[in-house]
Amino acid sequence: MEKVREALEAGASLVALDEAGELQPVPDGAEGPAMALVRPVSDALKSVTGEGLIAGSIDRDDVWAVELLVLSEAVVGALSGELDSIQEVYLEVESAGFDWRLSPMPSVP
């Protein structure tokens, strides 16, 4: 999170993190305070039993792959200390009382 705070101190109003927790350019149209930029999942998804057997297919209509998390300065300021993973960032943002807004990931030209 140190790199995130440094980016904000340098004047950025928003920061974007990928799944590895690395800073990425903030795509046009991204907004805060907390936005998850997503893509539809196109992989075949299956549920499995405790024995490892396929139990059925999972409907992809409500399943999205998160590409980037976009956070405002207010959100970053509310986060506690060092967060070791993007999952911890996601959960900490919710714990701080912010709601996540989903938006489709913009196409790369």
The string of pLDDT tens digits covering residues 26-43 is 998 898 899 999 999 999
Is 50 inside any structural domain?
A: no
Q: Express as a percent the part of the chain with pLDDT over 90.
A: 61
Confidence bin at 4 (pLDDT 50/70/90): confident
87 found inside a domain: yes
Q: How far does CA 74 lie from the centroid of its chain? A: 16
Total domains, the chain: 1
Residue 81 lies in a domain: yes
Q: pTM above 0.75?
A: yes
- Is 49 a domain residue? no
Burial 58-95 (b: 16+ CB within 10 A, else e): eeeeeebebbbbbbbbebbebbeeebeebeebbebbee
Domain holding 89, by residue range, is: 2-38+66-104
Is 21 domain-assigned?
A: yes
| Paired tokens of 104 | 């489709």
Q: What is the mean pLDDT of residues 99-108?
A: 86
Q: Note whether residue 99 is domain-resident.
A: yes
Is a pLDDT exceeding 90 seen at residue 53?
yes
Number of H helices, E strands in the chain: 3, 7
59 located within any domain: no
The CA distance from 31 to 103, in Å, is: 10
Give the N- to C-terminal CA distance of the chain in Å, as an integer.
Answer: 29
